[in-house]
Amino acid sequence: MSKTLKKAQDNYFLLSLGCSKNTVDSESMAQLMERAGIGGVGNPDDAQYLIVNTCGFIGPAKEESINELRKLGENKRDDQYLIAAGCLTQRYGGEVLKQVPQIDGLLGTRRWMDIVKLAGQLRDKKHPDPIYHLPEVATVGTDERGAMRTSIQGTSAYVKIADGCRRPCAFCAIPIIKGTAVSRPIEAVVAEAQRLEDMGIKELMLIAQDSTDYGHDLGMKDGLAKLLEQLCTQTSDIPWMRIMYAYPGYVTERLMDTMAQYPQVLPYLDMPLQHAHRQTLKRMKRPANTDWVYRTVESLRNKVPELAIRSTFIVGYPGETDEEFETLVQFIKDLRFDRVGAFTFSFEPGTTSEPLGDPIPEHVKEERRNYLMEIQQQISLEKNQELVGKTMDIMVDGNGDGMSIGRTYRDAPEIDGMVIVEGELPVGEIVPVRITGAMPYDLTATVDIEGPQIIGDGLLQL
Ligand code: SF4
């Protein structure tokens, strides 16, 4: 048996695409493979199993998944097995095979935990036909087989608290892909956080498709607040906890009170709102009571001092008139969010928005997105300028060449800004720095927190 063959046997190569929730599934699959004695390698040539955990959310992500599968498929050797896992496979099943005929195994995102079983079936199969592992299951599986539902980056970790979604958003394919919302038992999440605490993790990002729906399927009211309270009391050595993906209408007084009461819960809230005009929101099948948003943001800011709010918006949704878009622009100006992501509408067959088609030209969508981000860039800069002279804690994410980069509580990894600091700080630690400068999204800082103080208007007190 050739050296390459010998070396590849019982190794896997895993490419994870899409969102942080998919990354968690990838790392859980990796854990199960490792536990089965199949080791992970960074080079596909050194692997027997080539796994792509695909994304099937919107057009560009689907394309990327197909391209990556094709690349691996075209270079695949006879002793290798190509596995298409994840959301694209769950959504399109055999269609994926038509696009990439070299695929040997199809594994849906709802049964990520069957990866070892599929790997074994592939190795033992005596026929050339691909193996479909797409059982008709209503939801994401809850038999996690002891795999941690986390994705660790340095001393930060994404923790999946639930999967799937029961919301009716017209443009979104997630409920088609994942099924309805399934919460992990609170004990399982707390036990996992305790393992992470023992591993020295300092920041938890709680993720789900809709974190504010946590516990609903378990009969809990205000489940997210209750989960946070348990996490804060039972993992007191984890100083930073971050709430991602809150659904408007479910950011309750109880949740606000919990955020205000527990310093570990960062004054940061990611709450995708998608639009601000009632008619657009109605066509999106999203909560259309924007007065509620104004009131909730106001009470959040009253209850949680220094709160940083992140939101995301879709422009170019079918039927979006200039007037509707202007309402969104005014909304952004009024509420002055700390962080904003703006996306152009992506037509998704099979979603309830399909009959609306995709009437708004791409260039108009692009113009609207760019204009919205121009407005936001100025707001973000002004908010950053208000921080100059302040001393803030940052999580150090990296260092080198006499510099370090980190994040304040206002910055979730990968999607928000960063702080550039003179000096090499210990990676993975939370350290105080003094903000010395502001850019539209990022800040500069120094470790010399006792240094010259800003007395106002950027003037230095020497
Ligand atoms: S809440 Fe989010 S994941 Fe759920 S349907 Fe709406 S956009 Fe999709």
Domain CATH for 11? 3.40.50.12160
**Same domain assignment for residues 174 and 206:** yes
Query: Residue 159 sits in a domain of what CATH number?
Result: 3.80.30.20
> What would the two tokens of residue 221 be?
């009211």
Domain count, the chain: 3
**Same domain assignment for residues 415 and 276:** no
Cβ–Cβ under 8 Å, residues 13 and 40 = yes
Tell me the average pLDDT of the chain: 94
Say what the pTM is: 0.91
Atom in ligand 1 nearest the alpha carbon of residue 175: 5
Centre of ligand 1 from the C-alpha of residue 400, in Å: 39
Centre of ligand 1 from the C-alpha of residue 442, in Å: 29
pLDDT at 127: 80
Residue 145 lies in a domain: no
Under the banding of pLDDT at 50, 70 and 90, the label for residue 450 is low
Centre of ligand 1 from the C-alpha of residue 318, in Å: 18
What DSSP string runs through 155-209? Answer: TEEEEE-EE------TT--HHHHH-S-EEPPHHHHHHHHHHHHHTT--EEEEE-S
pLDDT over 80 (residue 459)? no
Cβ–Cβ under 8 Å, residues 240 and 203 = yes
**Chain position carrying tokens 């009024």:** 334
Which of the pair, 310 or 450, is modelled with greater confidence?
A: 310
CA dist., res. 223 & res. 213, Å (int) = 7
pLDDT at 125: 86
pLDDT tens-digit map of 398-448: 999 999 999 999 999 999 999 999 999 999 999 999 999 999 999 999 997
**Same domain assignment for residues 290 and 236:** yes
Residue 415 lies in a domain: yes
Under the banding of pLDDT at 50, 70 and 90, the label for residue 112 is very high
Centre of ligand 1 from the C-alpha of residue 284, in Å: 11
Residue 141 lies in a domain: no
**Same domain assignment for residues 111 and 173:** no
**Same domain assignment for residues 259 and 397:** no
pLDDT at 144: 93
pLDDT at 451: 54
pLDDT over 70 (residue 129)? yes
**Same domain assignment for residues 234 and 263:** yes
- Strand intervals (E) in 116-190: 131-133, 150-153, 156-160, 162-163, 182-183
What count of other Cβ atoms lies within 10 Å of the Cβ of residue 455?
A: 11
Domain that holds residue 209: 150-385
Residues in contact with ligand 1 by the CB-under-6-Å rule are 165, 167, 169, 172, 174-175, 209-210, 247
**Same domain assignment for residues 268 and 242:** yes
pLDDT tens-digit map of 308-363: 999 999 999 999 999 999 999 999 999 999 999 999 999 999 999 999 999 999 99
User: Which residue puts its alpha carbon closest to atom 2 of ligand 1?
Assistant: 209
Q: Which residues contact 180 (CB under 8 A, 6 or more apart)?
A: 138, 139, 164, 165, 166, 217
Residue 182 lies in a domain: yes
**Chain position carrying tokens 């599968």:** 69
**Same domain assignment for residues 6 and 125:** yes
**Same domain assignment for residues 164 and 304:** yes
pLDDT tens-digit map of 280-311: 999 999 999 999 999 999 999 999 989 999 99
Query: The dihedral of CA 211, 216, 222, 224: what is its sign?
Result: negative
Centre of ligand 1 from the C-alpha of residue 16, in Å: 21
**Chain position carrying tokens 């959301």:** 87
**Residue 243 DSSP symbol:** E
**Same domain assignment for residues 213 and 164:** yes
**Same domain assignment for residues 208 and 75:** no
**Same domain assignment for residues 380 and 444:** no
Query: Residue 421 sits in a domain of what CATH number?
Result: 2.40.50.140
Residue 410 lies in a domain: yes
Backbone angles phi, psi at 151, to 5 degrees: -135, 115
User: Which residue puts its alpha carbon closest to atom 8 of ligand 1?
Assistant: 172
Residue 139 lies in a domain: no
Rama region for 249: left / alpha / beta (φ>0; ψ in -120 to 50; rest) = left
DSSP lists the bridge partners of residue 443 as 419, 438
> What would the two tokens of residue 340 be?
């904003």
Residue 144 lies in a domain: no
Residue 143 lies in a domain: no
Under the banding of pLDDT at 50, 70 and 90, the label for residue 249 is confident
Domain boundary among 327, 361, 385: 385
